[in-house]
Amino acid sequence: MTLKHSILIALLFSTAGIATAQSYTPVVTPNGATLPWKMENGVKVFHLTAEPVKCEIAPGMVGNCWGYNGRTPGPTIEAVEGDRVRILVSNKLPEATSVHWHGVLLPNGMDGVSGLNQKRIMPGETYAYEFTLRQHGTQMYHPHADETLQMAMGMEGFFIIHPKKQEKRIDRDFAIILQEWMFPPGAATPNPSVMTDFNTFTFNSRAYPGTEPLVVKLGQRVRIRLGNLSMDSHPIHIHGFYFREVGTDGGDIPPSAQFPETTVNVPVGATRDIEFIADEPGDWIFHCHKSHHAMNAMNHEVPNLTGVDQDAAAKIIGKAVPGYMAMGTKGMGDMQDMAQMGGPENTLPMMTGEGPHGPIEMGGMFTILKVRDDITDYKDPGFYHAPKGTTAYLVEKSPAPAGAGQGGHHHGASMEMAPAQSVPPKNDAKTLYMCPMGHVHHQAQPGECPVCGMKLVPETGDKK
């Protein structure tokens, strides 16, 4: 963002009244934005424009989606219980739309079901919705005209209503919408007619490693609001902490009904708010526990070859099909390497992301909660440096099991694959250097990171 942009936004915010005294901690929508508003005669006025948008699902893949105000999900609407709100909705889509305020208590004519409660908003038209907020909690908005197609294209957003008086201080408040898509390999436009076979699973329309980390300071009270407008439920799991489910789109859950857990199942068409104290530093993953949902562009038509020795078959097939490569003998982690070799254009590798200790082998609905005690802002602090003696370590190396290659690669018959030896063996006696931002790992010599130019630092916590 340029300086000019920041000034413009600061001006916008101050005239919109967002900088005035707030009774709440503003919600952070990772990879997203908050919708500005203007006060007009005691009414908070918001403006949504429904339109086609480009969305970078993850580096290397841009989707032709639909959304609001240039993004999917649309910007988060934030208001306070008791507010009178007017939301203008302009339609720049090629077809009619309407907006339903999911979970919001309002007069029937404002409920947004086209045909039933109102006329459809035709292309080029602007409608106004106006009501007084008489509840608090995590609500959503989405179309209620051709809604199957429009939601599958990315039209959705949060409508968060803060209580008049916050009972306890929330230090970090995040909002994440869960969605699933079918992008045919190589295509940029999602196929909205798919009912079950989705291949892209997203947090706020981003798949890992395109998801922003959730950065918090040690000891902070963290709330994460999850909304699900996809076709499946998503059991969202946290590492390192247990949390309590404190709210749904129906309102607060009374303390007597809360219990500790590490996974919250978010049903379709619902929101769940979770809260915990981030009292253990580190990089803790936060992801959907349906394992295929923490993965990208998976081809479900592949036969299961785990444990099968394919070398012999590959040699035979290789004669007939030049370039044939056996896949998946040792598990799908191998495919991380495959993926880096390039699939169809604009298609994400199934699993990606390089950590300080090697490939992370994840994708999809996956992000990292970064808890730090030494940060002054919420910029991505890079990977966690575990204190010496607190990282799992190698105690013995036995010969590789029969059928296993020497590294992560496959032995194709007619294709020269880079052998495992191309990865330099780790020398435990030597100091290794890494980028403090996590860009380069395990380099034997000091120097500068080729990605960000920062001075490499001796690695800590990786050896006994």
Which residues sit at the interface with Cu ion, rule CB under 5 A? 234, 288, 290, 293
User: How near is the Cβ of 290 to Cu ion at its closest, in Å?
Assistant: 4
User: How near is the Cβ of 178 to Cu ion at its closest, in Å?
Assistant: 7
User: How near is the Cβ of 398 to Cu ion at its closest, in Å?
Assistant: 36
User: How near is the Cβ of 207 to Cu ion at its closest, in Å?
Assistant: 12
Query: With respect to Cu ion, which residue has the nearer C-beta, 190 or 281?
Result: 190
User: How near is the Cβ of 362 to Cu ion at its closest, in Å?
Assistant: 13
Query: With respect to Cu ion, which residue has the nearer C-beta, 290 or 463?
Result: 290
Query: With respect to Cu ion, which residue has the nearer C-beta, 121 or 236?
Result: 236
User: How near is the Cβ of 287 to Cu ion at its closest, in Å?
Assistant: 8
Contacts of 46 (CB under 8 A, 6+ apart): 35, 36, 37, 77, 85, 86, 87, 88
* Nearest one of 149, 93, 161, 444 to 456, comparing CA atoms: 444
* Nearest one of 225, 233, 128 to 175, comparing CA atoms: 225
Query: With respect to Cu ion, which residue has the nearer C-beta, 234 or 385?
Result: 234
Query: With respect to Cu ion, which residue has the nearer C-beta, 222 or 264?
Result: 264
Query: With respect to Cu ion, which residue has the nearer C-beta, 114 or 352?
Result: 352
Query: With respect to Cu ion, which residue has the nearer C-beta, 230 or 347?
Result: 230
Specify whether the CB–CB gap between 143 and 192 falls below 8 A.
Answer: no
Query: With respect to Cu ion, which residue has the nearer C-beta, 100 or 234?
Result: 234
Contacts of 164 (CB under 8 A, 6+ apart): 23, 80, 81, 82, 136
User: How near is the Cβ of 100 to Cu ion at its closest, in Å?
Assistant: 23
User: How near is the Cβ of 380 to Cu ion at its closest, in Å?
Assistant: 24
Render the burial of 272-306: b for 16+ CB within 10 Å, e for the rest.
bbbbbebeebbbbbbbbebeebbbbbbeeeeeeee
255: left (phi over 0), alpha (psi -120 to 50) or beta: alpha
Query: With respect to Cu ion, which residue has the nearer C-beta, 136 or 234?
Result: 234
User: How near is the Cβ of 230 to Cu ion at its closest, in Å?
Assistant: 8
* Residue 431 in tokens: 């100091």
